[in-house]
Amino acid sequence: MKKIFGILLLCVFIISCNEDKQSKLEKLEKQRDELSEKINKLKKELNSKKIIADNFIYVKAEKVQNRIFKHFIEIQGNVESDNNIFVPAQSPGVIQRIYVNRGDKVTKGQILAEQDASIILNGIEEVKTGLELATIIYEKQKRLWEKEIGSEIKYLQAKTQKESLEKKLQTLNEQYKLTKIISPIDGTIDEIAIKKGEAAAPGFGAIRVVQLTKLKVKAYLSENYITNIKKNDSVKIFIPSINKYFSTTIFAVSQVIDPDNRTFNIEISVPDNIKDIKPNMLAILTINDYTNPEALVVPVNVVQNSGGEIFLFVAKKNKKNWIAKKRIVKTGKYYNNKLEITENLNNGENVIIFGYQDLADGQIVSIVK
């Protein structure tokens, strides 16, 4: 009997244990289901937010404002001097003496060199001797004629002879002057192209005299700029060889186009206080050829060209979101990575300057600072 009772208690205990495990299992399964539901809900929320985030493109925008815009052109020119004279010989002859050296300071009228003039000098001495005799004869005949003693013919012959020799002497003296090479200006000897003992030909440069004041920069521009460049336009000049800058204005603008190269020239006076500049130095000119006091300009890289359309993107506020709008525009001048927009862009609009490459018209964007 006792044995049977023990078996019954064991069975009751086992059944009771099984009921507890089942209860726990059901409880855990319920917790699992609740947790799974929460997980799925969170996943849906996260996926929903990700889809919204994926529709945004982060961009930077810049508000455009009317501002002054200047366009410049850069060209090369040369330093020149109006007082840069290659003094020629004025008559043919052999160089006998050179009185100057390169670098010497000279004054206007100073003799720089002279040719062999021995033949002319001999002729002068000969004419002088004849003139002395002719003068004596003339004066005697004149006194006789005044006293009505001599003949008129002899008096006129004596007068003619004297005057003829005087003119001949004058001519020889002028020829003698032509054998001298004379400086026409105050300046510095820059080049001596003749040598003692060499023959000099008239019209060919012999000695260069340069005056280092009143220098100018001369440059040539394409005829396309002739309506843009005017007298008194500002210009910045750089002389590379001496690493010197100075700013001034254009002094003269030619109104004639060279038919050979289709260019016109401009001249800029070098201020007297600018030192160390020499003729024939290279000059780099930066000229302001265009100014718009109320321009709208954007970085040149934000303007795109596709299918013949020139466009950029502007950011427009649409309720809670920013929308990228494609804007077809017209452009003007370009300088220093800035491009002038002349049509279809308004003052105060937000131009997208970063992240514009992957945009489509009407796309939602998020503007970051």
CA 262 to each of CA 251, 288, 331: distance values in angstroms, whole numbers, following the listed order: 21, 21, 27
Residue whose token pair is 């254009």: 250
Cα–Cα dist 177/170, whole Å: 11
Architecture of the structural domain at 73-82+211-291 = Beta Barrel (2.40)
Question: Where are the domains positioned within the chain?
Answer: 57-70+294-367, 73-82+211-291, 83-114+179-210, 117-178
Over its C-alpha atoms, the chain yields an Rg (Å, rounded) of: 50
Q: What is the DSSP letter of 349?
A: -
CB 316 within 8 A of CB 265: no
* pLDDT score at 37: 78
Residue 190 is predicted with a pLDDT of 87
Hunting for tokens 């003693």 — which residue is that?
149
C-alpha–C-alpha distance, residues 101 and 348, integer Å:
69
Distance, in Å, from the CA atom of 219 to the CA atom of 225, rounded to the nearest integer, reads 13
Per-residue pLDDT of the chain (369 residues; tens, 9 = 90+): 555 545 555 554 555 555 566 777 777 777 777 777 777 777 665 554 444 445 578 899 999 999 999 999 999 999 988 788 889 999 999 999 999 999 899 999 999 999 998 999 999 999 999 999 999 988 988 888 888 777 888 888 888 999 999 999 999 999 999 999 999 988 888 889 999 998 888 888 899 998 877 889 999 999 999 888 999 988 999 999 999 999 999 999 999 999 999 999 999 999 888 888 888 899 999 998 889 999 999 999 999 998 889 999 999 988 788 999 999 999 999 999 999 999 999 999 999 999 888 888 989 998 887
What is the model's pTM?
0.56
For residue 4, the model assigns a pLDDT of 59
Q: Residue 286's closest CA among 69, 78, 81, 76?
A: 76
CA–CA gap between residue 333 and residue 291 (Å, rounded): 10
Residue with tokens 């000969």: 126
Fold match, 73-82+211-291 / 83-114+179-210: no
Angle between helices 118-146 and 152-178 (to 10 degrees): 160
pLDDT of residue 49: 45
- What pLDDT was estimated at residue 52? 44
Helix, strand, coil percent content, the chain, rounded in steps of 5:
30, 40, 30
- Smallest CA-to-CA distance from 358 within 333, 308, 330, 324 is with 324
Q: Going by CATH, does the domain composed of 83-114+179-210 fall within 2.40.50.100?
A: yes
Q: How far is CA 5 from CA 16, 19, 74, 313, in A?
A: 17, 21, 117, 92
Distance, CA of 25 to CA of 238 (rounded, Å) = 91
What is the domain class of 57-70+294-367 according to CATH? mainly beta
Residue 286 to residue 335: CA distance in whole angstroms = 12
Q: What is the pLDDT of residue 204?
A: 87
**Amino acid 9: pLDDT:** 53
Which pLDDT belongs to residue 235? 93
> CA–CA distance from 238 to each of 57, 75, 235, 245 (Å)?
46, 11, 10, 4
